[in-house]
Every structure is written in structure tokens, then in C-alpha cells.
């Protein structure tokens, strides 16, 4: 027979399991935008307790800064507030500690910190800082490397695909995924189709990975010409001209004598080299192509240059998504909407989900009956932004019989959308 104390332990264990299941199931919704996961902290002090307090304080500040970078455009980050520790903790709903290690003077752990979305929204609105909180669906990245002898997709010697595989964890609003590169992918797509690019073939590849958006990122490394020896046999002081590709005057750069040849397969330093990036997006919205140029730094390895290029592309995709889904508080609109109901509980649930949306300013109830609520919805931005926000709460706004009707998506919907520019 189980003793009362043991029974309590079993009950607590079961409750913990249930709570973990609930938290795991809700991780893909828009609320997770305000959650910073797996943040490593490490602090030392005169005692374990003091080291722990210091680590938690540093962790919450770091998580707050990371969240702001996630929500705000890079050009607006100079406007970000610098808050006292007490002000940051007031915005924290809770945290979870994992992988906790401590000694007499040192504390290490990984933190998951949940911020209050309403508090964060209020903070940014008061400071008139634009932000985006709508997540995109997965976007498929197809990296193509041009060695100078032709483009290579799946087996590139230039480590372009390897650079993408080694990319840092994506903490933004646009989750990027990479194809497996197996025989199925090779049969569906080759380098020529990717470079063309073939919209049909790319979207066919995307379908395998459950997404409707593809970004083809082609890279071409233009190496500097080796300096020609003079009559005296020197190297012309190691100076050569390299065009920056912008139409401006060519920049004179120092080229170290590293034996760099014209081969794009070289694995030595790439000082003075120009990495040309072509970022082509294919998806639900209009196709878009962006050109980027990166110059190899002093003594920089090719691997380092390619890693920088990956970061540049990730920032570009993230920035374009934020621009398309930015909440602009200076522009307020309104819309008359009919909300079909099966019960009063449906209306309570619908109102709660609408109030949770950052894009919604207020809700005026015009009429309420057993079968329908008629509302005047005040919201920020354009109607397309409103519809994107509604999708985050599994709601669908449709124009039916001469008016706008709001339905709850019984199938659960998706956690984001990829229908805008990336």
C-alpha cells in the first residue's frame, strides 16, 4: 500500500508531467516570441548564493536585450531603452533553470525566461519604437556556391553549405531550414534550376519541407589578382586594385603574398577578395532579388568570410520580414466585423484572443445576440497586418456577403505565415 507521503510525491510528479506537456504544446504560438530559451549564464562571487543571484540578474538583462533585438529593426535599435534591473524584472513573468552547476564560489546554468508581452508592448509603444512580433513560417534556404567553374549545389568544395549548417541559432522571427541534400533533393533540384531560378522546381522542393517560401543564396568569391613582379623581381609592394562592385572608384587594398590563385577552391586567407551574394526569394508574394558584397578582411580565412556572409543573409531576411510586418502606431484604422457564435463562451474566448493581439487597439461591441456579435475593431497599420496578426491566434478574417466575418480556425491553423516579403 502506498503511504500518504509517497502518494503526494507521485501526485506532484504527475502534475509536473502534465504541465510540461502543456508548455511544450503551446511553444509554437505567438506567445513564444516573448520567450528567450537556453540562455547560458556563468558567474563567480564570494559565495554560491551571491554567484547565483548575480548570474540570474545578468541572465535577465541579457534575455531582455536579446528580446529587443528580436522585435526591433536594426536601424531602430539605437532607440532601445536602457532599464534598471528592477524595471527588467518587472517585465519578467517567470523563468526556468536547467543544467544547474554550482560550487562554493561559482554558478552556471541555462535559463528560459518568459517576458510579459503586454508590458513589453507598452514599453515600446511609450517610446514610439516600431516593432514586429509576427512569426514567419519556415523558410527553406538553398545555398549555391560558384567556384568559377560553374555553380555547385549539393557537393560544393567551397564550404558554403557547411557554413549554413554551422550557422548560429536563429533567435529571430524567421525560422530558416536547410534541405537534407539527399538523393531525393538531388533528383528534384540541381544547380542550374536553382540559379535560373525555376520557380516550379523550387516550390516543389519547398513542398517536401512543408513550406511555401524558398531563398536561393548563391555565392561567388572573386579573388584578387596576384601582384605581378617588377623588373627587380619584387611584388610591387603588394598593392593591387580591386573593384567593390558598387560603381564607385575602385578601392586600393593590400594583398598579402599568400599564393592565392584565381582558383575559387583556395583554402588560404582571402584578404581583399570580394564575396558576391545573390539572394533570390521565391514564394507566395512577388519574387525578389537582392545583391550583397562582402570584402575579405586582413588575414581573414575563407571560412570566416563565408560565416559572415551567412550572418548577413540571415539579417537581411529577418529585416525584410520585420519591415513587412511592422506595427506602426501612428496609423490607426477601424473595421466593422461580424463574429458568428455558438454560445456566450465563444464571444468571451474571441474577445480574449483579440485583446491579446498587439495590432488591436480596442474593441467596440455594437450588438450581441445568441448567434452573432457585431463589433467595431480599432487596429494599427493596414488590413493585411491585421489579418496576419489574426492568423497568430488561429482566427480567419474573410469578406462574405458584403461584409467582414471573423471565424475561429477549428483546425488550429499554423503558427505563422510566409506570405509577405522576406
pLDDT of residue 66: 92
Is 142 within 8 Å of 216 (Cβ atoms)?
Answer: yes
Give the domain-ending residue among 324, 347, 362: 324
Same domain, 311 and 227: yes
Q: Residue 364's beta-bridge partner residues?
A: 376
pLDDT of residue 286: 65
Same domain, 94 and 161: no
Give the domain-ending residue among 324, 357, 372: 324
pLDDT of residue 365: 87
Same domain, 158 and 282: yes
pLDDT in tens, 361-398: 888 888 888 888 888 888 887 787 788 778 767 788 88
pLDDT of residue 304: 85
Same domain, 319 and 358: no
Q: Give the length of the chain.
A: 422
Same domain, 211 and 151: yes
What is the domain-level CATH number for residue 337?
3.30.70
- State whether the Cα torsion 336-337-338-342 is positive or negative: negative
**Structural domain count, the chain:** 3
Q: With respect to residue 316, please indicate whether it lies within any of the assigned structural domains.
A: yes
pLDDT of residue 227: 56
Tell me the chain's radius of gyration from C-alpha atoms.
27
pLDDT of residue 347: 86
Q: With respect to residue 131, please indicate whether it lies within any of the assigned structural domains.
A: no
Same domain, 255 and 177: yes
Q: With respect to residue 134, please indicate whether it lies within any of the assigned structural domains.
A: no
pLDDT of residue 235: 41
pLDDT of residue 234: 45
Same domain, 146 and 237: yes
Give the domain-ending residue among 70, 102, 126: 126
Same domain, 369 and 225: no
pLDDT of residue 289: 84
Report how far apart, in Å, the C-alpha atoms of 172 and of each of 77, 134, 176, 190, 251 are. 14, 10, 10, 30, 35
pTM of the entire predicted model: 0.66
Same domain, 214 and 316: yes
Tell me the residue range of the domain where 290 lies. Answer: 139-324
Residue 181: phi and psi, rounded to 5, are 75, 25
Q: With respect to residue 18, please indicate whether it lies within any of the assigned structural domains.
A: no
218 SS3 class: strand
pLDDT of residue 226: 60
Q: With respect to residue 245, please indicate whether it lies within any of the assigned structural domains.
A: yes
Same domain, 207 and 296: yes
Same domain, 146 and 262: yes
How big is the CA angle at 238 (ends 235 and 240), to the nearest 5 degrees? 110
Q: What does the alpha-carbon distance between residue 141 and residue 251 come to, in Å, rounded to a whole number?
A: 32
pLDDT of residue 25: 35
Q: With respect to residue 420, please indicate whether it lies within any of the assigned structural domains.
A: no
Same domain, 143 and 177: yes
Q: With respect to residue 369, please indicate whether it lies within any of the assigned structural domains.
A: yes
pLDDT in tens, 85-124: 999 999 999 989 999 898 899 999 999 999 998 899 889 8
Q: What does the alpha-carbon distance between residue 125 and residue 327 come to, in Å, rounded to a whole number?
A: 10
- State whether the Cα torsion 229-231-233-235 is positive or negative: negative
Is 421 within 8 Å of 287 (Cβ atoms)?
Answer: no
Q: With respect to residue 222, please indicate whether it lies within any of the assigned structural domains.
A: yes
pLDDT of residue 268: 62
Residues of the chain with pLDDT under 70: 1-31, 156-158, 224-268, 270, 284-286, 329-330, 392, 410-422
Amino acid at each position: 500500500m502506498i503511504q500518504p507521503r509517497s502518494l503526494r510525491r507521485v501526485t506532484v510528479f504527475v502534475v509536473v508531467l502534465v504541465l510540461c506537456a502543456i508548455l511544450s504544446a503551446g511553444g509554437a504560438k505567438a506567445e513564444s516570441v516573448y520567450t528567450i530559451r537556453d540562455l547560458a549564464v556563468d558567474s563567480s562571487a564570494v559565495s554560491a548564493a551571491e554567484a547565483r543571484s548575480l548570474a540570474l540578474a545578468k541572465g535577465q538583462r541579457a534575455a531582455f536585450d536579446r528580446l529587443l533585438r528580436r522585435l526591433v529593426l536594426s536601424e531602430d535599435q539605437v532607440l532601445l531603452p536602457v532599464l534598471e534591473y528592477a524595471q527588467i524584472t518587472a517585465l519578467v513573468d517567470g523563468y526556468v533553470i536547467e543544467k544547474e552547476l554550482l560550487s562554493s564560489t561559482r554558478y552556471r546554468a541555462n535559463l528560459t525566461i518568459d517576458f510579459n508581452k503586454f508590458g513589453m508592448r507598452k514599453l515600446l509603444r511609450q517610446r514610439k519604437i516600431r516593432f514586429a512580433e509576427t512569426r514567419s513560417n519556415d523558410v527553406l534556404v538553398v545555398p549555391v556556391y560558384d567556384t568559377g567553374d560553374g555553380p555547385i549545389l549539393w557537393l560544393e568544395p567551397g564550404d558554403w553549405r557547411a557554413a549554413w549548417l554551422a550557422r548560429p541559432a536563429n533567435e529571430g522571427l524567421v525560422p530558416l531550414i536547410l534541405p537534407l541534400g539527399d538523393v531525393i533533393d538531388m533528383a528534384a533540384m540541381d544547380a542550374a534550376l536553382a540559379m535560373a531560378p525555376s520557380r516550379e522546381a523550387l516550390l516543389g522542393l519547398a513542398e517536401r519541407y512543408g513550406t511555401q517560401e524558398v531563398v536561393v543564396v548563391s555565392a561567388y568569391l572573386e579573388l584578387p589578382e596576384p601582384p605581378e613582379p617588377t623588373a627587380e623581381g619584387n611584388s610591387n609592394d603588394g598593392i593591387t586594385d580591386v573593384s567593390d562592385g558598387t560603381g564607385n572608384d575602385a578601392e586600393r587594398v593590400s594583398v598579402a603574398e599568400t599564393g592565392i590563385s584565381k582558383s575559387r577552391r583556395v583554402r588560404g586567407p582571402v584578404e581583399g577578395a570580394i564575396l558576391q551574394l545573390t539572394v533570390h526569394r521565391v514564394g507566395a508574394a512577388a519574387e525578389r532579388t537582392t545583391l550583397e558584397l562582402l570584402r575579405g578582411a586582413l588575414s581573414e580565412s575563407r571560412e570566416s568570410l563565408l560565416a559572415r556572409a551567412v550572418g548577413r543573409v540571415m539579417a537581411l531576411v529577418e529585416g525584410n520580414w520585420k519591415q513587412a510586418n511592422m506595427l506602426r502606431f501612428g496609423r490607426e484604422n477601424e473595421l466593422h466585423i461580424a463574429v458568428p457564435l455558438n454560445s456566450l463562451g465563444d464571444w468571451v474566448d474571441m474577445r480574449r484572443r483579440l485583446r491579446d493581439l498587439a495590432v488591436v487597439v480596442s474593441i467596440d461591441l455594437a450588438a450581441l445576440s445568441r448567434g452573432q456579435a457585431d463589433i467595431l475593431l480599432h487596429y494599427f497599420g493596414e488590413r493585411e497586418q491585421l489579418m496576419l496578426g489574426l492568423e497568430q491566434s488561429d482566427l480567419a478574417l474573410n469578406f462574405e456577403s458584403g461584409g467582414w466575418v471573423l471565424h475561429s480556425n477549428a483546425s488550429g491553423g499554423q503558427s505563422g505565415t510566409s506570405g509577405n516579403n522576406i
